Each structure stands twice: as C-alpha cells, then as structure tokens.
Amino acid sequence: MNHTLKRVTTLTMGLLLFAAISLKATSVTVQEVGTGAGTDVYIDSSTLGNELHVFAGFINLKINGSPTLGFCIDPWHWSTSDSQTYQLVPLDQAPESPGPMGTIAAQKIEKLWQKYYAGALGDNNEAAALQIVIWELVDAGVAGGTFSLDPAHPLTGQLLIDYTNMKAWLSGDLSNAIPADLDAVKKLSLAGAAGQDYVIPGVPDGGSTAVLLGAALMAIAAFRRRR
C-alpha cells in the first residue's frame, strides 16, 4: 500500500469511528414512569446524605415514548418523573458529574447484566442486588464519587445471598464472560438538578454505521482503480 492510500484509509476509518460515536450521542426524551422488580435499601451518598431509604431495582422508563427497562447508574442525584432531555451515549461515557465511569466499570456492568438480568426480572431480591452492584461498579470507576451501602442497615436474607453471589462472580475470571449490548442515557441539565442517569439495553443505530462503512470501502476501491 503506497503512502497516499495509507493516508486515505487512515482518514476514512477515523471519520467512520467519529461517525459511529456521534450516532450514539443522540438527544432523546427520558421519563421515569415507575419501578419493576426490586426492594428498598439504605445507602450513603457523598452528595445526597447518609442513611437514605431508596429503591433498588428495575426502573420503568419511556425513551422517546417507548417503554424501556433500565437501572440507575447515578447514586448521587434524586430521580424525577418529569420528562427531560437526555443524551444517548456509550455506557462508559456516563453518568454525568462526578462521572463518567470509564471502560473497566462499563465492561463489568455489561457482563454482569448478561449473567443476571433475565433472572432478576421476576425476583425482587436479585433485581435489588443487581442494582446495588451496578452502583458499586459505577462508583469504583468514578474518581471522587462516594457511594456505599449504609452499615447501620445491613442486607439480610436472600438479598444478601444474591448480592454476595454477584460480588463473588465478579471477582472471578471474566475473560470468557459474554457482555450485553448496553447504552446509557445521560442527563443534559446541570449536575445539581433532579434526574438520574440510566443504563438501558442497546439502541440500534438503524444500520447507519454499516452504510457509512460500505461507502468508505467503495471510495477506497475507486481510489485503487484510479491509481
């Protein structure tokens, strides 16, 4: 491959990567309309306070009006039922301040979701445990973020068992664990305003990335013929 073709190929692939990321950074309306499987727990938050009695589990959302199940990835802000403008982004780019969580935390959440999501759909304890572990993974990936379960109200019973099992699974070898396809919706308002960020099942980009890739490859092929 000559130097000119190398430059063309590098530029094309760079534009494709930028386009793929941009397709995910799309504005959407998000509304929290209720809760699914889960239960209440006590947490400590660096911004909200200590000994907080909060719901942990599935959140029923509407993304651009379409029903979607998700989990909170923002234990530093209160939720709201108001419809707000969010940005659809790759999971590792959320949550908002004090985020984002980064690649390592996002990859663990994707694998944890794939492992436990289906079973948690109809199990309050497993759903709550999954939410708590997601909060902990996000917090671990955020510099300066402080979240923890409140030690004055320890987990008990089946919830403790499910939580402990998930933590043990995460501490093992995850190299062959299958990741789920996930996205995040990230709030666009100021950090102090009400509204949380959420992890949701991956939203298809409508094949736009594939179209762009095909067009780029055709351009490279045409360049080769001209040369």
162-172 pLDDT per residue, tens:
999 999 999 99
pTM: 0.81
pLDDT digit string (tens) for 24-43? 569 999 999 999 999 999 99
Other Cβ atoms closer than 10 A to 22: 10
Please determine, for residue 211, whether its predicted confidence score (pLDDT) is greater than 80. no
Q: In this predicted structure, what is the pLDDT of residue 188?
A: 80
Other Cβ atoms closer than 10 A to 204: 8
How many structural domains is the chain composed of?
1
Characterize the bridge pairing of strands 49-63 and 147-149: unpaired
pLDDT digit string (tens) for 131-155? 999 999 999 999 888 999 999 999 9
Q: Which residues 6+ apart lie within 8 Å of 130 measured at CB?
A: 57, 71, 112, 113, 116, 117, 120, 166
pLDDT digit string (tens) for 53-86? 999 999 999 999 999 999 999 999 999 999 999 9
Please determine, for residue 220, whether its predicted confidence score (pLDDT) is greater than 90. no
pLDDT above 70: percentage of residues in the chain: 77
Please determine, for residue 227, whether its predicted confidence score (pLDDT) is greater than 60. no
Other Cβ atoms closer than 10 A to 87: 19
Average pLDDT, the chain: 84
The residue type at 70: G
Give 21's pLDDT tier (boundaries 50, 70, 90).
Answer: very low
Three-state secondary-structure class, residue 17: helix
CB 224 within 8 A of CB 5: yes
Q: Which residue has the tokens 């309309």?
A: 33
Round to the nearest angstrom and report the end-to-end CA distance of the chain.
Answer: 11
CB 110 within 8 A of CB 201: no
Q: In this predicted structure, what is the pLDDT of residue 192?
A: 54
Please determine, for residue 208, whether its predicted confidence score (pLDDT) is greater than 90. no
Q: In this predicted structure, what is the pLDDT of residue 150?
A: 98
- Of 44, 39, 42, 68, the closest CA to residue 53 belongs to 42
Question: What residue numbers bound the domain in which 16 lies?
Answer: 3-226
DSSP letter string, 24-48? HSEEEEEEEEEEEEEEEEEEEETTT
Mean pLDDT on 198-204: 92
